[in-house]
Structure 1
Amino acid sequence: MPPSPTPLEPSPRVWSAELSTLDLGGVSVTFLPDGVHHVEPTKHYPDAPDGVWDEHPEVINDEGLLVMSIGGFLVRTGTHDVLVDLGFGPRTLDMTALTDGRIRGDMIGGAMLDSLAQMGLQPADIDAVVLSHLHLDHVGWLVDPQAPGQPMFPHAHYYLSETELEHWVNETDPVEPVKGVRGAPSTEQLAVIQGAARTVEEQTEILPGIVVVPTPGHTRGHVSVLVTGSSARALVIGDALHCPVELQHHGMTYSHDQDPVAATASRELVHAILSEHDTYFAGGHFPGRVFGRLTEGDRSHAHGLHYVAD
């Protein structure tokens, strides 16, 4: 049986999500923490409703910054060990310093391999990696930092959108979210992907129970991943949504979406999937807890959320 969702009160302390597992019945999904991202909420959500952040202290820290987890997901089917997204990697980005104080925040990675080890696995045990998209906080562990140019996961195939891969291979002027930082993958990271890529373009079951679902907009080829077990399903959202507040308030837009119209349509698709029976969300950027379900109610207004408590 899937775990019972537990309604949680807003926490006085906002934290990056910790390692946690959702059992779907013969298939499990585990969040593997890599680090955390802090940023001013108005920089990511300039058109958020008035007062929305005051209504949701569970996502804002004492400095007034939005807290966003960074990491990836481990899907274990009994036959395959699959990763969805690869975190930020062993690095730290001080956005406050890089922007001369114009944007307060930071991005910190480096813990994902330790998280994987806690599950009793090493990089060589991973069969496949699904990449929702190729922004720097989702491809951080593609390359072995101790062996430049070599893949961190030597036995894995890399599943991603053909559109996504072609975009970044051919891109000459990538989006730069802050001064001096390219949002694109490095040439070295692209080489690793191209050496073992299996691209998809439509909704595709890449392995039994693991379906890639196109959700373009944040990037041109962004995908989410629907994982199905014997008793429940989970949608690994990727960056189709970045914050649980987006699940509760329709119409919020994200400032770094490449195609805002397509991104809005993809968010509606995510809402529709999550409104189906026994379907959980897996939000890799959600603070505190990453797994949960929407409550029933009027889809035109605010949703409630029930989180899965460990």
Structure 2
Amino acid sequence: MKLDYKILWLDDQIKDFIEDEIIEEVSEYLSQQGFRPEIITASKSEDFFKKLDNSFDLILTDYHLNDINGDEVIKKIRSQDYSVMTEILFYTAKADLKDTDKISRVSFLETNTLLGDHREEVLRATINLIELTIKKFQNIVAMRGMIMHETSSLDVEMENILQKILASSKSPDDIIAVIKKKYKKSNDEFNKNIDKVEDIDSILRTIGASHRWRAIVRNLSDGEIKSVMTDYEKEIILIRNKFAHAELIDDGERQYFRDRKNGLDFNEDFCQQVREDLLKHKENIDLLNSELEK
């Protein structure tokens, strides 16, 4: 799991879940948790197994299907042919599940249609299981790795955007001159090194994420994208730097990272906000890339 949360859902009556907006509610819940949802559905087991791989964070399926028995579905998912150990929720409106506690990382739900709506009960069980997988993912050490990975990917995108700005500019040499001037002003110790670098690729790699961000903002036209991009350093670069140098604390009750300088606690709520900011800036960068390619 990274910023994307992937679900593979098998049910021969999957259209009912779509029409009742159950899948939409699951998607909205994931978005509220700071993830980008991707829910892939299948109404036949053949299609399900064509799509099945280890990239999914959760698998949902009816236990009673027209073309295959639930026991066989479990065996195939865990078999050597697939070897998928993703969390699974099997649900049924028939109270006939047996030996369900012997299978690793599989949850079973028997809904009582006399007391409630079957699909609504599946929805509640799904959200509960999503919460469980998010808690496992939010092991704080894993969160730091995700943030480092995602911000590094954004760094590459920012460099690509600067390349496009330079390629479309009528005076790229002037832009490079300003980049050098701004870089030298705040990094006196690197003055000699930056003066020796002449090719654009080396310059953009040398100046670092903050200077690439400043160069982009200076060359954007006033508008919504520029307004949002002004928050990039505060919400992405500075947070990444704080996370990279934070101290791992174990107080006996939980593990968390704390910024040594400001005492910032990188707890679950804070990490959710970081995910939301990463998604926001990913969308902004995609939009900016699209506009530059016009």
TM (norm. structure 2) is 0.22
Structure (1/2) with the larger strand percentage: 1
Q: Which has the higher contact order (CA 8 A, sep 6+)?
A: 1
TM (norm. structure 1) is 0.22
Instruction: Compare CA radii of gyration and give the structure with the larger one.
Output: 2
